[in-house]
Every structure is written in C-alpha cells, then in structure tokens.
Amino acid sequence: MQSFDIITLFLLLVLPAYVANAIPVILGGGKTFDGLIRGKAFGSNKTIRGFFSGIIFGTLAAFAIAMALPAYMVMPYVIFGFLSSLGTMAGDLLGSFIKRRLGIEEGRPFFLDQVLFIIVALGFGYPVLGGYYTAGLMIAILVLTYIFHVLFNVIANRLGIKKVPW
C-alpha cells in the first residue's frame, strides 16, 4: 500500500465526494425523483439530473486527481471516486428522505445536511481504500467537512449560486 502524507490522504478521500455534493446546486434541475414515483419521498429539490451530474463530475474529478498518482493506483482511485460519488448522492437522498419523514420542509436546515453525505461516501468507498481509514483521519474528515460545508454554503449564498446560506 502506497503511503501518503496526511493532507494528501485527506484530500484523496474527500475531494470526489465534495465535487459530487456541490455540482447538483449548479447543474441540477428538471424532473424530480418524486415526480418519477408520483409520491413524496425526497421532496421537490432532488432532481434526477442533479443526482447523475454529481456522480459523473465526482468521478471525473477522481479521474483528474488519479493522473497524479502512481500508475497502479489510477484504476482503484477512479473506482473509489465513482463509489464515493454514488455514496454522496445516495446519502443526499437519504438525508432528504429522513427530513421529509420528520416533516422538515425542502431547503430547511437539518443537522445531517453537513455530514451525512461524507459518511455514506466513505462507506461506499471503504471496499477500495478502507485500508487508509484510521480513526483519527475519520474524525478529522467529519469535523473539517462540517466546517467547510458551512463556509462554502455561506459563500455560495453570497455569490448568488445558492438560495439559502446552508
């Protein structure tokens, strides 16, 4: 197993998920999953295009990052990127599903908004890069992801990219 310094490892584990999580805000729109099932499962903000654009761009980000890795890690890392992007979008849907069941309206804040996606993303990526998951690193990822998420959403809101600052 290749060894990386802690910051590199941190970035390798989170970047595809961060990209997947951010992209639907920009590229989302169109038909919702709820429209597909003709019921209220995830709410009016979870679109099919948002879901797939997150997976595609998260995987592309992993592909770009993989170019800087040793050749034998390119394929595993791209697969990790795909799985963690898929996990991000699945976690995002799960979060909305939980919010709707609790009666929390679309776009209203909820404590899982900032971290559920990264937890599910890391879970999905575990079969590939789980060997790198140490307890300390997992705690650092949770804490810093929370902070970054809050910061990025405030900035995206100020820039007019996002309707609400969370």
- Residues making contact with ligand CTP (CB under 6 A): 24-25, 28-29, 43, 45-47, 50-51, 92, 95-96, 99, 106-108
Please classify residue 139 by burial: count the beta carbons closer than 10 Å to its beta carbon, then call 0-12 exposed, 13-18 middle and 19+ buried: exposed
CB-nearer residue toward ligand CTP: 63 or 152? 152
Sign of CA pseudo-dihedral 44, 45, 46, 48: positive
Question: Which amino acid, residue 16?
Answer: P
Q: Between 47 and 84, whose beta carbon lies closer to ligand CTP?
A: 47
> Smallest distance from the beta carbon of 132 to ligand CTP, in angstroms?
27
- Beta strand spans in the chain (E): none
Of 144, 137, 146, the closest CA to residue 116 belongs to 146
CB closer to ligand CTP, 63 vs 97: 97
Shortest CB 38 distance to ligand CTP, Å: 18
Least Cβ distance, residue 93 to ligand CTP (angstroms)? 7
